[in-house]
Amino acid sequence: MTEVDGGSFSIDAHEWVLWDLFTIEPWFLLQGVLLGAVGYTAQRSEKGRRFWMRCVGALFLIALTTAALGVKAG
Q: How confident is the model at residue 65 (pLDDT cuts 50, 70, 90)?
A: very high
Can you say how many angstroms the Cα of residue 38 is from the centroid of all Cα atoms in its chain?
A: 17
The helix/strand count (H/E) of the chain reads as: 3, 2
Break the chain into its structural domains and give their ranges: 16-69
| Predicted TM-score (pTM) of this structure | 0.64
For residue 1, what is the enclosing H or E element? none
Q: How far are the Cα atoms of 27, 53, 60 from residue 33, in angstroms, in the given order?
A: 10, 12, 11
Q: Which residue type does 37 have? A: A
3-state secondary structure of 63: helix
Give the model confidence (pLDDT) of 24-54 as tens digits: 999 998 999 999 999 999 999 999 999 999 9
For residue 19, pLDDT over 90 is answered with no
